[in-house]
Homo-oligomer: A and B are copies of this chain.
Amino acid sequence: MTHRYLNLTPLSRALAVMRQKFPPPGGAESVPLQLAVGRVTAEPIYAVYSVPMVDIAKFDGYAVRSGETLGAQDQRPLTLTNYSRINTGEVLPPAFDAVIMVEDTWEENGRVWIRKSAARGQNIRRAGEDIRAGELVLPKGHQIRPFDIGAVATYGINSVMVRAVRVGIIPTGSDLVPPGTLPRPGQTVETNSLMADAYLSGMGATCRRYGVVPDEPHRIREAVAEAVAENDLVLLSAGTSTGSRDFSREAVAELGEILFHGIAMRPGKPVLLADLDGKPVFGMPGYPVSAQTVLREVVANLLVWWGLAPPPVAETDARLASRLASDLGFDEFVPVSVGRVNGTCWATPHPRGGGIQMAVVRANGYLHVPAWREGIEAGEVVRVSLTAPSATVARTVVCVGKRDPAIAELGNRLQDSGYLLHCCNASTMGAVLALRANTCHAASIVLPDTESAWNDQVFRYLPGVNLLRLPLARTELGIASTGELDPERLALLRVANRPKSQAAQVLLDAWLEKEGIGYPHQDQDLAAGAKVWVCAGAEAREAGLSFIPIGYESCNLVIRGEVASEEGIAALICTARSQEFRAYLRTIGREPAGGPGDEPLPARDAAPARNQ
């Protein structure tokens, strides 16, 4: 069965409906103090007794009667007559009314001398100075911090009533396999329930993950009914789209009232909310980034309404590094990496899409394009919600361009210097434009190792810019074959669905043209199969394949000369040039590049002509 969305509900309207329909259920549980960090108090906490209980000494020294110390002076020291040695925290004996610190005394001839009289009450901690019995320690609705734990325990409390929300999470889908299983093609590891559990538990919810339910409407219905009975809120993971195997809507519609299906939000559009016996049941999309958005923008919003603490999110202002398109009427959430380049904070967008989970992993924040905006222009100041500590923004090195294992590994090693390398995927042109606009620290550029490629694709767009080119690794590319290479079969050469790089394509095209071999028709290859393909020489040799070299591609970092001496960039360059990094590249079958190219490139004042 195929069905369409109901009308898409605007995000703000969806949240209003949700909050109006589901007032806080008011659940609470008692937890021992050690487990209470991050939880929210369900009721006020009052001190069981006063602290201190009675007057005690504030410092180590001597308890005295202040009246008897009158007249002590620098020039006329006095010996103590009635006194008692007292330690910090000890009860002041009733006969005394002041404490003299041991540092302000000395012993001589078995007597204790002072040079200054004591004021009544000095160096005494009064009973109740910290708190009095019955006084409020924490109000209700307070999120407990680590240091609160010590205070609450000090005031005589060992367990606290905290707000509790029981969340049931039901994964559905016949294609799902449990974490730890190697999926077959077309299968998906069921990880959304794990992620929802991690995220909502962090807010103090008590999550229960149910077993995977296959795509059968009656089994989904049974599972939902069971979970609704046992929880305050239920998440049904996936099956909320409009495909022939999407039964979530059907299943919950039979059990309760659907409040909305489809929010005008991206990612996360296929979300569903139903009211089952007064309890909310969310149908969540299956794409992980869509699911994250629904968890963060919708489900967490309800839990905050119910009194749980929102996950801490720091915010920062940044300029948008490249234009973001967005549909009017849709709230969009875009993962970005924020870094400070030349004194300006820039937010560089990562690829969007519900399935590109790595974009969120690589990002250190996200921005919200509100429904009333049709995109945001490059350079505009935007508010970014950070997903990393805000202190790390200053230590973030933003690299725009091609993803490459050599650069990923460079980032991995850069962490040792305290800097975080963020790689934002972009075409060569995107990387060159980022360099030109000075919105990134480095560009990652993978090109055939020829001067013309660099002239055509890089330098002509950056006239007059002082550039440092840092070749990281070169890869010999060529045509590999499972059998002897036969010119007849080369004519049927199929470029794999995803060639390793654009450079491979360029090199192949050049080689085919040079050899006079016609390029196969785009459909022809489908029938011929992929027994001949372009790959790295190391790979072909390791597999014992025939191999015809066609050239080198090289992976480079390109940096503007003026930022090369900044601390993070300098660390990046040092790491890239280190023997350890070059040795590592060899272990992954990459040839470290370097030598003459590894020099500042001369500034170029004019773009060289193409095909010169």
Question: Please, which residues of chain B bring their CB within 8 A of the CB of A415?
Answer: 139-142
How many whole Å from A114's CB to the nearest CB in chain B?
15
A292 interface residue per 8 A CB criterion: yes
Q: Considering the complex, give the chain B residue whose CB is closest to the CB of A67.
A: B523
Question: Please, which residues of chain B bring their CB within 8 A of the CB of A149?
Answer: 191, 194-195, 198
Instruction: State in angstroms the CA–CA spacing of A259 and B246 once bound together.
Output: 66
Question: Please, which residues of chain B bring their CB within 8 A of the CB of A142?
Answer: 415
A361 interface residue per 8 A CB criterion: yes
Residues 62 to 88 of chain A near chain B (Cβ within 8 Å): 65, 67, 85, 87-88
Question: Please, which residues of chain B bring their CB within 8 A of the CB of A311?
Answer: 146
How many whole Å from A505's CB to the nearest CB in chain B?
15
Instruction: State in angstroms the CA–CA spacing of A405 and B135 once bound together.
Output: 6
How many whole Å from A532's CB to the nearest CB in chain B?
17
- CB < 8 Å neighbour of A186 from B56, B156, B182, B314: B56
Q: Considering the complex, give the chain B residue whose CB is closest to the CB of A522.
A: B120
A544 interface residue per 8 A CB criterion: no
Chain A window 381-412, contacts with chain B (Cβ cutoff 8 Å), 1 for yes, 0 for no: 00000011111000000000001010011011
A contact residues, total (Cβ < 8 Å): 120
Question: Please, which residues of chain B bring their CB within 8 A of the CB of A310?
Answer: 389, 391
How many whole Å from A108's CB to the nearest CB in chain B?
14
How many whole Å from A34's CB to the nearest CB in chain B?
7
Tell me whether A145 and B387 are in contact in the complex, defined as CB-CB below 8 angstroms, given that A151-B360, A151-B361 are known contacts: yes
Residues 127 to 182 of chain A near chain B (Cβ within 8 Å): 127-131, 134-143, 145-151, 153-154, 156, 158, 175, 179-180, 182
Q: In the complex, are the beta carbons of B139 and A405 less than 8 A apart?
A: no
A476 interface residue per 8 A CB criterion: no
Q: Considering the complex, give the chain B residue whose CB is closest to the CB of A415.
A: B141
Q: In the complex, are the beta carbons of B195 and A147 less than 8 A apart?
A: yes
From DSSP, what is the main secondary structure of chain A's interface residues? Answer: loop
Q: In the complex, are the beta carbons of B245 and A151 less than 8 A apart?
A: no
How many whole Å from A180's CB to the nearest CB in chain B?
5
A97 interface residue per 8 A CB criterion: yes
Instruction: State in angstroms the CA–CA spacing of A363 and B214 once bound together.
Output: 51
Residues 32 to 84 of chain A near chain B (Cβ within 8 Å): 33-34, 37, 44, 48-49, 51-56, 58, 60, 65, 67
Q: In the complex, are the beta carbons of B191 and A150 less than 8 A apart?
A: yes
A241 interface residue per 8 A CB criterion: yes
Q: In the complex, are the beta carbons of B412 and A150 less than 8 A apart?
A: no
Q: In the complex, are the beta carbons of A37 and B408 less than 8 A apart?
A: no
A109 interface residue per 8 A CB criterion: no
Question: Please, which residues of chain B bring their CB within 8 A of the CB of A130?
Answer: 355-358
How many whole Å from A338's CB to the nearest CB in chain B?
15
Q: In the complex, are the beta carbons of A242 and B102 less than 8 A apart?
A: yes
A103 interface residue per 8 A CB criterion: yes
A4 interface residue per 8 A CB criterion: yes
A202 interface residue per 8 A CB criterion: yes
Question: Please, which residues of chain B bring their CB within 8 A of the CB of A185?
Answer: 52-54, 56, 91
Query: Could you write out 16 A-B pairs with CB less than 8 Å apart?
Result: A52-B185, A56-B186, A87-B243, A88-B241, A103-B242, A136-B405, A142-B415, A143-B389, A146-B198, A147-B387, A150-B195, A150-B357, A151-B360, A153-B194, A154-B191, A315-B390
